[in-house]
Amino acid sequence: MAAWTNQLQDYERDGFLVLRDFVAPTTCDELRLRAEELVQEFDPAGVISIFTTHEQSRVTDDYFLESADKIRFFFEEDAFFPNGTLKQSKEQSINKIGHALHTLDPVFRAFSHSSEVRKLVADLAIADPRLAQSMYIFKQPKIGGEVGCHQDSTFLYTEPTDIAGLWLALEDATINNGCLWAIPGGHRLGLKSRWVRAPEGGMRFDVFDSEPWPEEQLQPLEVAKGTLILLHGLLPHKSLANRSTKSRHAYTLHVISGKSRYAPENWLQPRSDSGGFARL
Ligand code: FE2
């Protein structure tokens, strides 16, 4: 208990916490295998939705905005030839799967509601914890795209801003294959922007602070397979492109409190008939 108290203090100080050996390598392998099956079953014909944080307008298509309660597949930006055909196999081209693996897929649902996850969230004392979204991120060899410095609360805004991101390394994450980088203590810098649904349709950024991030303070979080990184919703973090020959798979969950006010302008909304986000 004392150890956890110290860790919680570290989390509150830094805005992130690295939990080594959170799960066994076999658990990582089960999740990887299931993602592989899902990709094999996926028919990419007609689905060209490229995820990139550099060009948000390109992701504000219906395929993305309607994925809150679905299992959908998003491609790497560099996956296509100019004529729109894939440069390599679909297995080597997908950026991520989102955003309801935790409710719709039995394997990911079981992990997302596992005793390890429940205990961690209970230790964080998040009141009435809800799983808002899940993502399987591939960070493909050679073409895995950069994700620019951001705060998750920009996309999942709650009042208070008490969301926690759970980022599980399913493979070793290194500087070479695009590990996370974070600004220690950066969660105290305030929320810089919100990504909100515009009344006229589509999405827009509401910017509160246009100062660039002090990216010289970013530190790499190189972690071994099975490590879970806990991320405060306000923590600035990023990952660089993967130009190596090794993939960097990760599974992420975002936990919010059912007691917080969840912004109706957020892109991600629970189905109106679902009673809100999934209870943990
Ligand atoms: Fe993030």
- Write the CA distances from 190 to 78, 88, 129, 208, 255, integer angstroms: 33, 41, 23, 9, 20
Q: How far is the CA of 53 from the centre of ligand 1 (A)?
A: 10
Encode pLDDT of 67-104 as tens digits. 999 999 998 888 888 777 788 999 999 999 999 999 99
% the chain with pLDDT above 90: 79
CATH number of 5-279: 2.60.120.620
From 1-5, 107-111, 259-263, the region with the lowest mean pLDDT: 1-5
The answer to whether the CB of 240 falls within 8 A of the CB of 144 is: no
Q: How far is the CA of 155 from the centre of ligand 1 (A)?
A: 9
Q: How far is the CA of 137 from the centre of ligand 1 (A)?
A: 11
Rounded mean pLDDT, 203-214? 95
Q: How far is the CA of 263 from the centre of ligand 1 (A)?
A: 18
Question: Could you tell me the pLDDT band of residue 52, with boundaries at 50, 70 and 90?
Answer: very low
The answer to whether the CB of 163 falls within 8 A of the CB of 152 is: yes
* The pLDDT value given to residue 91: 94
61 vs 147: CA distance, rounded Å: 19
Query: Does 200 have pLDDT greater than 90?
Result: no
Q: How far is the CA of 83 from the centre of ligand 1 (A)?
A: 31
Q: How far is the CA of 14 from the centre of ligand 1 (A)?
A: 16
Q: How far is the CA of 152 from the centre of ligand 1 (A)?
A: 5
The answer to whether the CB of 126 falls within 8 A of the CB of 255 is: yes
Encode pLDDT of 147-176 as tens digits. 999 999 999 999 999 899 999 999 999 999
Q: How far is the CA of 167 from the centre of ligand 1 (A)?
A: 9
Instruction: Give bridge partners of residue 262 from the DSSP assignment.
Output: 158
Query: Does 272 have pLDDT greater than 90?
Result: no
Q: How far is the CA of 141 from the centre of ligand 1 (A)?
A: 20
In the structure encoding, which two tokens stand for residue 91, read together? 């297995």
Task: Name, in order, each residue with C-beta under 8 angstroms of 120's C-beta and a sequence gap of 6 or more.
Answer: 19, 22, 166, 228, 230
Q: How far is the CA of 109 from the centre of ligand 1 (A)?
A: 21
Q: How far is the CA of 237 from the centre of ligand 1 (A)?
A: 6
Question: Could you tell me the pLDDT band of residue 56, with boundaries at 50, 70 and 90?
Answer: very low
Q: How far is the CA of 86 from the centre of ligand 1 (A)?
A: 26
* The pLDDT value given to residue 172: 98
Question: Could you tell me the pLDDT band of residue 63, with boundaries at 50, 70 and 90?
Answer: confident
Query: Does 50 have pLDDT greater than 80?
Result: no
Q: What angle do CA 7, 190, 219 make, to 5 degrees?
A: 50
% the chain with pLDDT above 70: 95
DSSP string, 202-225: SEEEEES--SPP-GGG-EEE-B-T
Q: How far is the CA of 274 from the centre of ligand 1 (A)?
A: 25
Rounded mean pLDDT, 90-119? 96
